[in-house]
Amino acid sequence: MDYYLAIDIGASSGRHIISWIENGKIQLQEIYRFYNGVDCIDSHLCWDVNRLYTEILEGMKKCKELNKIPVSMGIDTWAVDYVLLDEKDEILGRTYAYRDHRTDFIDEEVYKYISLEELYSRTGIQKQPFNTIYQLMALKLQEPEVLARAKTMLMIPDYFNFLLTGAKKQEYTNATTTQLISAKTNDWDAGLIELLGLPKDIFLPICMPGTTVGSLTEALVAKVGFDCEVVLPATHDTGSAVMAVPSNEEDTLYISSGTWSLMGCELKKANCSMESMEHNFTNEGGYDLRFRFLKNIMGLWMIQEARKELSPEESFGIICEEASRQTITSIVDANHNRFLSPDSMSAEVRKACMESGQQVPEGMYETAAVIYNSLAKCYANTVAEIEKITGVDFPAIHIVGGGANADYLNRLTAKACGKKVYAGPTEATAIGNLTAQIIAKGEIKELQEARIIISNSFEIKIYD
């Protein structure tokens, strides 16, 4: 049988998952897991891409040890972050992480060239202070010498693909999160790039998911012990996760639940209306030129950070269970920028409750209860906005990703939104990554068929 390798790298960890189809079902085997996190360098938050690349290779070696050699592999990561390469294809400057504060107030600099309204009408991308457009403007203002030397810009997964194959390809779904892609042409908005004074030559032609990047370099074949094709999945992890939503219904509402909660639906045409902009919805590129019309919600990042501070040895499962037993009813705005990168998440939650005259949580469990209830409230508000903008009454919500394991949050979501909730699969990002590869190989014909197989392959819990 054919094996496929998905390398899924999130903001806190990465893993290698081998997959194959057996008896009509997708089988998964995690073979390697590694830590990821930002480093503080000269007061800036940065990614150590060299270490991550080393981890990619270590996980690939496990395929050889297990004698499960993949016919193809694909890498997905978080969005918006990038590397710049010089004329020798060496990285220029730091590889900044999106939570770094160098983009604070940079949006005002961008709006000197183009209004927020026109920018949204052209790209359909939600305003986020860390979008690549603001990162590049920060670089132009703060480190112009670095930008002047740049010959190529690659998003993070595209850079890893370049190291593996020697080929530079820019994948579509991740490129849309730069806020520099036209929602009409699905290509770089050359006029916008020129307007902002960014070098046009650093942006490579756009490639769609399913494109073959190339084979491993000879040096890597000798190092990992095998050769395979590197294929582009939806390299934006949310793009891959949404592919794994087990529904072919025309109107499907989903939450890709992990560090971020991405809540929305799929559209065949981007909604770049001012109403959509005012509610801060985005139109990210998806597989097969579908648009992921969604809102970024702070997500389980809040729980992750609070756990680090208050109860680092305790499992998320126990925290979720104990939170369900608390009686505190305080609610905070889970989508406020104050929770993006605070010095202390638990202190910021307490402060928000105090400012609004609500009960201040004490300890991990009460803090978690406030966060879970706040997320459910945010989901309910977002459902109302989506239904108002689209004119669709969605019958249910599909929750995919690691957050589908959060039983208490799922129950709160069903109650707050007044809708049936389907939770699973939990490994949605890896499954979507693998699906793109399997379709490219021809073992599955199209996404609709893949979603039926996914529905039959993994447990889906139902909450009324």
- The one catalytic residue in 8, 76, 158, 237 is 237
Q: Residue 382: name the closest of 371, 372, 394 by CA.
A: 394
Sheet of strand 291-297, all strands in order from the earlier edge strand to the far edge: 282-285, 291-297, 261-267, 253-257, 396-400, 420-423, 461-463
Cα–Cα distance measured from residue 229 to residue 276, given in angstroms and rounded to the nearest whole number = 40
Judged by DSSP in three states, 211 sits in: coil
Please check whether residue 406 is in contact with residue 300, taking contact to mean a CB–CB distance below 8 angstroms.
yes
How many Cβ atoms sit within 10 Å of the Cβ of residue 170?
A: 21
Q: Which two tokens stand for residue 373?
A: 């209830």
Cα dihedral 355/356/359/361 (nearest 10): -60
Active site residue 393: no
For residues 236 and 80, the answer to whether their CB atoms sit within 8 Å is no
Phi, psi for residue 2 in degrees, rounded to 5: -90, 135
Alpha-carbon distance of 52 to 59, in angstroms, equals 11
**CB-count exposure of residue 410 (10 Å: 0-12, 13-18, 19+):** buried
Active site (catalytic) residues: 237
